[in-house]
Amino acid sequence: MPQFTKVILYTQESGYAAFREETVDLTEGTPMSALSPLFPSGGYQLRQSPVGFKSAFHVTTYPQWVFILKGRMRIGLQDGSSRVFGPGEHFYSADLLPDGATFNASVHGHCSAQEGDDPLVTVFVRG
């Protein structure tokens, strides 16, 4: 059965953000156009960030898909590791602030940055 790999940015029990991957079975459609079941969504936003953009550490306010349309986006984690996503790549951002926690920029969330010569253009689709 065809599958889609879902890259997920999430909050571990420790409060730190991390990446993991899950597969989604493509059980719908035809052999030439395999589809996942229909997932609900809550709207989308388009974003453009200029060359040189860098954010402070922050958490995701709402779980959302992030699709890179143009440019490259680096997502940095508190442990110093990072992942770079380019055009056509994605991740599901779900690194929410743990229930009852107060945001601590040295523990929670991730930072993002534009990389390379092109502005960063993304679309955010709320999950």
Compute the average pLDDT of residues 27-56. Answer: 96
Considering only the C-alpha atoms of the chain, give the largest distance between any 2 of them, rounded to a whole number of Å. 48
User: Residue 79 is part of a domain; what is its CATH number?
Assistant: 2.60.120.10
- Give the chain's domain count: 1
pLDDT band at 1 (very low <50, low <70, confident <90, very high): confident
d(CA 69, CA 54): 18
Q: 62: domain range?
A: 3-126
Tokens of 47: 């974003």
pTM, entire model = 0.91
Compute the average pLDDT of residues 91-119. Answer: 97
* Residue that has been written with the tokens 């989308």 in this structure: 44
Phi, psi at residue 100, to the nearest 5°? 80, -5
DSSP 54: B
